[in-house]
Structure 1
Amino acid sequence: MSSESGSFSFSRPDLSRFLFDLYDYEPGLLRRLISARPHVCPFDHIERHIPQDARVLDVGCGNGALLAILLAAGRIKEAVGCDVHEGALASARTAADRTGRGNAVSFRRIQDFQELPDALFDVVTMVDVLHHVPDGARAQAVAQAIRRVAPGGVFLFKDMVEGPFWRKLAHNLDDLIFSGEWVKQVKTADVEKQVINAGFELVESKNIPRLFYGNTLRVLKRV
């Protein structure tokens, strides 16, 4: 994996192999699921919105795949990954260390979005998190995340599409199998409106198909 002119130079298979090698300490099935994520989650679209030497807050970082990719590419000056699951955070710490740049990132277990670091970041990411949050608590989760975006900084939101039905079903079955949840899709238009009303402008709005899945990506800049 290399970086040229501010963009990664890799194919999805290359990135999949990178993650497969990086997470070789995980059990076989989990290792393969992590390495398959680039074929589902559009990391390539996400990374180009991360400036070089950025301060990044990854809300709901899970096992740290996104942060590991950005660390390995030299995108991150300083980062914090937050999640509710200590097991996932332990894996994320190991992955970050194995990139050789683990000293640039710290990880924090949180029980509530109000416990996010009380600091400002160039980029705040919320990738495949909000559909796990109860419907009535989603607006507050977004509000807490965007509070951490510095002036001129970016809030990057990625979640599953609301349709068509068969893509929606693919995501729901995936979450049911791997997280034991029958999740409810996020109304992306509501998130977009909330963030714009908080003083952001829309930079990119895109739906990105991957295999049976569909991703909705919104990038908003604080003005």
Structure 2
Amino acid sequence: MSARAGSFSFDRKDLSRFLFDLYDYEPKLLRKLISARPYVCPFEDIERHIPEDAKVLDVGCGNGALLAILLASGRVKVAVGCDVHEGALASARMAAERTGNAGHVSFLKIRGFEELPADSFDVVTMVDVLHHVPEGDRVKAVEEAIKRVAAGGIFLFKDMVEAPFWRRLAHNVDDLIFSGEWVRQVKTAKVEAQVKAAGFELFESLEIPRIFYGNTLRVFRRL
């Protein structure tokens, strides 16, 4: 698969191959883990909610896989990725450069969610981030993210499922192995209530199973 805009498929196998080729500068194990993400994370369901030529903020972008996919597909006009880990951001910058569309994206290291860019965005994504945030800070994290959504814009939230138990356990073990954290699941209903109270409508709600895992996807629009 070409990493250039204009010839891109959201087939899971193609996405996996694309990421494996794109991140060939990473250690072998990490490269394989990144390339396995399309089999766990529903990138195709995320992409279809992002308008053409959108201005996108990815909160907790990590090594930039989502933004790299969107850049390579020609989906975004302007993008900003934010994360607390400089090592992950360095990898994200290199991946963006290799898509041929690095001029459309910038990356910012933040110490807290209050340091997110003050601009307004057509789409703000928070993908598999909130369960890593201490429970007492989660309301603030969501509050700061949705502040950046423009009128009529989209807040796209994805995290791991709360149930059934065995899918939740699969996520917990995964995070324990790869991040050293025994995380506590996000209460999706609380996120929904908070975002709706801030003037958004929930227009898509999905539970998406993948292998042993489960994804909770919520898509909101600012009224």
Query: TM over 0.5: same fold?
Result: yes
Runs of at least 5 residues in structure 1 that lack an aligned partner in the other structure = 3-7
Q: Structure 1 residue 9: deviation in Å? A: 3.8
1:96 aligns with 2:86: no
Partner of 1:108: 108
Partner of 2:198: 198
CA RMSD in angstroms, aligned pairs only = 1.0
1:79 aligns with 2:79: yes
Contact 2:122–2:149 (CA<8 Å) still a contact in 1?
Answer: yes
Partner Cα separation in structure 1 for residue 183 and residue 10 of structure 2: 32
Partner Cα separation in structure 2 for residue 174 and residue 44 of structure 1: 22
Runs of at least 5 residues in structure 2 that lack an aligned partner in the other structure = 3-7
Partner Cα separation in structure 1 for residue 145 and residue 131 of structure 2: 15
Q: Which amino acid aligns with 1:189?
A: A
1:140 aligns with 2:140: yes
1:162 aligns with 2:156: no
Partner Cα separation in structure 2 for residue 206 and residue 115 of structure 1: 30
Partner Cα separation in structure 2 for residue 56 and residue 10 of structure 1: 19
Matches within 5 A, 1:9-158: 9-158=9-158
User: What is the aligned residue count?
Assistant: 218
State, as a whole percentage, how many aligned pairs show the same letter. Answer: 77
Show CA shifts across 1:182-221 (max 9, x none): 0000000100110001000011000000000000000000
Partner Cα separation in structure 1 for residue 52 and residue 219 of structure 2: 17
Q: Structure 1 residue 93: deviation in Å? A: 0.1
Partner Cα separation in structure 1 for residue 72 and residue 9 of structure 2: 13
Partner of 1:5: none
Q: Which amino acid aligns with 1:178?
A: F
Contact 2:160–2:214 (CA<8 Å) still a contact in 1?
Answer: yes
Query: TM-score by structure 2 length?
Result: 0.96
Superposed structure 1 runs of 4+ greater than 4 Å apart:
none
Query: TM-score by structure 1 length?
Result: 0.96
Contact 2:9–2:15 (CA<8 Å) still a contact in 1?
Answer: no
Q: Which amino acid aligns with 1:133?
A: V
Q: Structure 1 residue 10: deviation in Å? A: 3.2
